[in-house]
Amino acid sequence: MNKKVMQGNEACAHGALAAGVRFFGGYPITPSTEVAEVMAKELPKVGGKFIQMEDEIASMAAVIGASLTGKKVLTATSGPGFSLKQENLGYACLTEVPCVVVNVQRGGPSTGLPTSPAQSDVMQAKWGTHGDHPIIVISPSTVKECYTLTVRAVNLAEKYMTPVVFLMDEVIGHLREPIDFDEVKDLEVVDRKKPDVSPEEYVSYAAGEDGIPVLAPFGTGYRYHVTGLTHDEQGFSTMAPPVVARMNQRLMDKIDNNLDDIITFESENLEDADVVLVAYGSSARSAKEAMRWLNAADQNVGLFRPITIWPFPEKEIRKIAGNVKAIVVPEMNMGQLKLEIERAAAGLTKVIGVNKVDGEPITPEEIINAVKGVL
Amino acid sequence: MNSAYEKYFRQDRLPHIWCPGCGNGIVLSAFARAMEELNIDQDKTVVVSGIGCSSRATTYVDFNTLHTTHGRALAFATGVKLANPELNVFVFMGDGDSSAIGGNHLIHASRRNIDITAIIIDNNIYGMTGGQYSPLTPTGKKATTAPYGMVERNFDLCELVKGAGATFVARGTVYHAKQLTDLIVAGAKNKGFSVIEAVSQCPISYGRRNKMKNALEMINWQKEHAVNVKAAQKMNPEQLKDKFLIGELYRAEAPEYTAEYDKLIERVQKGGK
Amino acid sequence: MFEKWDIRLSGTGGQGLILGGIILASAAVKDGFNAVQSQSYGPEARGGASKAEVIISNQEIFYPKIANANTLLAMSQQAYDKYCVDITEDATIIIDSTLVKNIGADKAKKRFIIPITELAKKETGREMTANIVALGAIVGITKVVSEEAIKEAVLERIPAGTEEMNMKALNAGMKAGQELLQTMAS
């Protein structure tokens, strides 16, 4: 046993280092700043680079530039900074440059509640940048997961050549609890593919059968063009409708064809449940506590916790919806993931939100009251 | 010229999309000749651009090329250079791209003195979108968004980057194409942040609205109004009225950012604080 | 047996209560318990109201915040006035009488009044060790963690060169707590 009491933000940074992240570009913003602080201290020790850029837009740009040299990269931000990063986040989606964007959610809109938690960037994480594009969004519920799931986020970014949003919240970011480092020391680490053809034969955006392109690091003899314009397989801009359609479709397919690999979740007591709580991030902790008390009172209540929020575990929710009286969704927003759950449930059951936007976490009592209203 | 043209341009991407009379092609030729003179390793060189007419340069040159978002070329380039300082990094920007939406990045690349050579094509206008005024449109000149003449004051970009800490600052013109090549070579050799403002012409979106009928007239204007910085030393203020300076305007010694960061790594790895 | 401690350390920003919370949680983990530590704060790092919470349990801890503390440390009048109303008769309250002058609004039967800040100054010459004196008092009174674990946890989290000073502070707090406990029992 090798337990250390650590903060969620610190665990996220250490997870990134364990995953092989060697470049961090960021800008200070509460409540995510500790991620940058740990990276500033630790990266030089392993020969990595840290830079505090002049703004959030620049830090997103810098990590994309660094990623194109073959480095694993990460940036961390919160609410307003996440808004500023959106244009270049879209750039990374289209140009298929791996990067991880940590967003430690705080109360909004605008400057909002800088030191208080929220979960109100769930929809922004998917739809914040313009245009249709795929994205992977992962949400941790424990400090240990801040570590292990950051490793997973980096792995998914490298494997699928895509940005991954690591969607934390202030509660988890600032919470301290023990991590047993013996339990996390042998996590799988994935590196992006390298070209297996000569520079003459290399076609940058001609993805293989898996639909995922292989982008050679700049400086390794494979000269190619990267552009935020819609481009063809050679990487050059095009307006030819069939090519545009084909490239956009491939971009979506590389994620949609791999849902079983990308989507992870935790579930408990789903068999015989009358009510299932669907919760993520720190609200899932409140939901678990509520479930424990309700189960102790012989109520059949289960829990489904999406760890991957986007792509959304639609299939799993549909299955649950067919078997229960209601799905209760506690989230620190006005009902964002609830919309997606309603869509997936397709009218098979009631979907009830427990919503809170006052800067305080949702309590187990609030969830219990909502469940009692249904049972 | 021919050998530089064949070696440094992507032949299959030509002809370019720039309008007849545009100065961008001449700037890009000067760049190619500079690359030839430097005998640069194309595999170890990254050329970055933002958005606008200037940014299309990266499509045509045969290097690792990165066409980014509006104003952000230097921020992307900073990531590239810091992540791998072995790479030579050049950045093409336009006047609006570099001084309006990207102004902050220009200031901070200068401040860091990061080893990047920026070539700013200054045609005094947003050309791609049809002729809106930029921070480099001279006061009084017309643009689609300044139909009664530009009310704002315009920047002196070279003074701006000098003040912000760039260690090589030069201005050239399309007319003085040979000098432009020399300035790019000198900028590339400077171990630090180098800025070369290339005064160019946009006959379609700027000249037509400002009583300059065609490219020839505009290039003649450059010839008549540009004064070499050395010649200017012997001229009085009356003679320099309405003129602008070209040549190597400023050079300084300062620590280069990525080298300093590498020293920091060395220090930290030795157990220093 | 299900055992759960909900401990709230309250006072003013700059007193080191968050560090105190972290040390307490680390000590509990050393003793083999589960522990979580959280805090809430406003924009100011110094001078504003500050609160650190520690939950210690022999079971997994899900909800990480405290509704009603069963142990409360109050190190400012403002913090005492604000949080003492939440606690029940069964709760333990430890009050720094150097800083809290108006006492009596709480219902706690187990009320321990210790001049924590004064004690810190007297024992170590430094008011800033008051957070460690307070930790000593909490452990001396509640025995929520072992003496070995709290000592080890303090030593892990303080700046090098301050070990002796902080051990003095911790011991002074433990002694004051234990003595008061004995007085109240007799």
Q: Which has the closest alpha carbon to C107: C82, C128, C90, C94?
A: C90
Strands A326-331 and A350-355: parallel
Between B63, B68, B80, which is nearest A228 by CB? B68
Task: Label residue C73 left, alpha or beta by phi (over 0 means left) and psi (-120 to 50 means alpha).
Answer: beta
CB spacing of B62 vs A223 below 8 angstroms: yes
State what percent of residues in chain A have pLDDT above 90.
Answer: 99
Question: Which secondary-structure segment (H or E) carries C73?
Answer: strand C71-74
Pairing of strands C92-96, C110-114: parallel
pLDDT of residue C1: 65
Q: Does the beta-carbon distance from A5 to C63 stay under 8 Å?
A: no
The answer on pLDDT for B1 being more than 60 is: no
**What structural domains and CATH numbers belong to chain A?**
3-180 (3.40.50.970), 266-372 (3.40.50.920)
Q: Is A350 helix (H, G, I), strand (E, B) or coil?
A: strand
Mean pLDDT within A106-133: 96
Contact yes or no for C64 and A285 at CB 8 A: yes
Sheet holding A350-355, edge to edge: A265-268, A301-306, A275-278, A326-331, A350-355
Question: Would you list the DSSP string of A271-322?
Answer: TT-SEEEE--HHHHHHHHHHHHHHHHTT--EEEEEESEEES--HHHHHHHHT
Determine which of C18, C62, C68, C150 to mutate to test the interface with A (most A C-beta atoms within 10 Å): C62
Which chains contact A through at least 3 pairs of Cβ atoms less than 8 Å apart? B, C
- Chain C residue numbers touching A183 (CB-CB < 8 A): none
Q: Do C36 and A289 touch (CB under 8 A)?
A: no
Domains in chain B (CATH in brackets) are 2-269 (3.40.50.970)
- Is B233's Cβ below 8 Å from some Cβ in A? no
Check: CB of residue B135 under 8 Å from CB of residue B102. no
Report the pLDDT value the prediction gives residue B272, as an integer from 0 to 100. Answer: 72
pLDDT tens digits, one per residue of B58-101: 999 999 999 999 999 999 999 999 999 999 999 999 999 999 99
pLDDT at A373 over 60: yes
Of B64, B87, B268, the CB nearest to A223: B64
| Model confidence at A169: pLDDT above 70 | yes
Q: Are B126 and B85 in contact (CB under 8 A)?
A: no
Closest residue of C to A363, CA-based? C63
Mean pLDDT of A133-162: 98
Taking CA atoms, what residue in A is nearest to B63? A223
Q: What is the pLDDT of residues A201-247, one digit of tens each?
A: 999 999 999 999 999 999 999 999 999 999 999 999 999 999 999 99
A94 contacts chain B (CB < 8 A): no
Residue A101 bridge partners (DSSP): A75, A165
Cβ distance B202 to B48 under 8 Å?
A: no
**What pTM did the predictor assign?**
0.97
Contact residues on chain B for A93, CB-CB shorter than 8 A = none
Please judge whether A114 and C29 are an interchain contact, meaning their C-beta atoms are less than 8 angstroms apart.
Answer: no
Which tokens hold the place of C127? Answer: 């008011």
CB contact set of B242 (below 8 Å; sequence gap of 6+): B225
Q: What is the pLDDT of residue B102?
A: 98
Q: Which two tokens stand for residue A299?
A: 């109520």
The SS3 of residue A265 is: strand
In whole angstroms, give the CA distance from residue C122 to residue C116: 10
Evaluate if residue A297 carries a pLDDT over 60: yes
- pLDDT value at position C186? 76
* Blockwise average pLDDT, block size 10, chain C, 186 residues: 90 93 98 94 69 96 94 96 90 97 91 97 96 98 97 97 97 97 86
**Judging by beta carbons within 10 Å of its beta carbon (0-12, 13-18, 19+), is residue B242 exposed, middle or buried?**
exposed
DSSP tag of B154? P
Determine, for residues B72 and A58 on separate chains, whether the beta-carbon distance falls below 8 Å: yes
Asked if residue A114 has pLDDT above 80, the reply is: yes
Contact between residue A263 and residue A290 where contact means Cβ atoms under 8 Å apart: no
| pLDDT at C44 (0 to 100) | 59
**Domains of chain C (ranges, CATH numbers):** 4-185 (3.40.920.10)
Q: Terminal CA-to-CA distance of chain C, rounded, Å? A: 29
With a cut of 80, say whether residue A329 has pLDDT above it.
Answer: yes
Q: What pLDDT score was predicted for residue A142?
A: 98
Determine contact: A226 vs chain B, CB below 8 A: yes
Name the residue in chain A with its Cα closest to that of B8: A223
Could you read off the pLDDT of B139-166 as tens digits, one per residue?
Answer: 999 999 999 999 999 999 999 999 999 9
Per-residue 3-state assignment (H helix, E strand, C coil) for B65-121:
EEECCCCCHHHHHHHHHHHCCCCEEEEEEEHHHHHHHCHHHHHHHHHHCCCCEEEEE
Q: Tell me C114's DSSP state.
A: E
CB atoms within 10 A of CB C59: 11
**Shortest Cα–Cα distance, B162 to chain A (Å):** 18
B98 and A CB contact within 8 Å: no
Mean pLDDT of A9-19: 98
Task: Please report the pLDDT score of residue B4 as a whole number.
Answer: 82
Pairing of strands C71-74, C92-96: parallel
Beta-carbon pairs below 8 A across chains A and B: 131
Query: Quick one: tokens of B75?
Result: 């921020």
DSSP letter for each residue of A152-163: HHHHHHHHHTSE
pLDDT by residue (tens digit) across A50-100? 999 999 999 999 999 999 999 999 999 999 999 999 999 999 999 999 999
Q: What is the reported pLDDT for B10?
A: 97
Which pLDDT does position C67 carry in this prediction? Answer: 86
Q: Are B27 and B121 in contact (CB under 8 A)?
A: yes
Residues B72, A61: C-beta atoms closer than 8 Å: yes
Kindly determine whether residue C38 and residue A282, on different chains, have CB atoms separated by under 8 Å.
no
Distance CA A164, CA C114 (A): 52
pLDDT band at A145 (very low <50, low <70, confident <90, very high): very high
Mean pLDDT over B5-20 rounds to 94
Supply C3's token pair. Answer: 């055992």
Secondary structure (DSSP) of B219-253? HHHHHHHEEEHHHHTTS-HHHHTT-EEEEEEEE--
Between these two residues, B272 and A370, which has the higher pLDDT value?
Answer: A370
Say yes or no for a CB contact (<8 Å) between C63 and A285. Answer: yes
Q: What is the mean pLDDT of residues B202-229?
A: 96
DSSP3 helix / strand / coil % (chain C, rounded to 5)? 45, 20, 35
Q: Which of A41, A43, A60, A64 to mutate to test the interface with B (most CBs of B within 10 A)?
A: A64
At CA C160, angle to CA C158 and CA C166, rounded to 5? 50
Q: How distant is the Cα of B125 from the closest Cα of chain A, in angstroms?
A: 22
Residue in chain A nearest C27 by alpha carbon = A5
> What is the distance, to the nearest Å, from the Cα of residue C42 to the centroid of all Cα atoms in its chain?
20
Cα of B146 vs its chain's centroid, Å: 24
Nearest CA in chain B to A199: B43
Q: What pLDDT shows up at residue A192?
A: 98
Above 0.95 for ipTM, yes or no? yes
Distance, in angstroms, between C32 CA and closest chain A CA?
Answer: 10
CB proximity A231 to B under 8 Å: no
Chain B, nearest residue to A41 by Cα: B268
Contacts of A175 in chain C (CB under 8 A): 36-38, 64
Residue C181: φ, ψ to 5° = -60, -45
Distance from A11 to chain B by nearest Cα, in Å?
Answer: 22
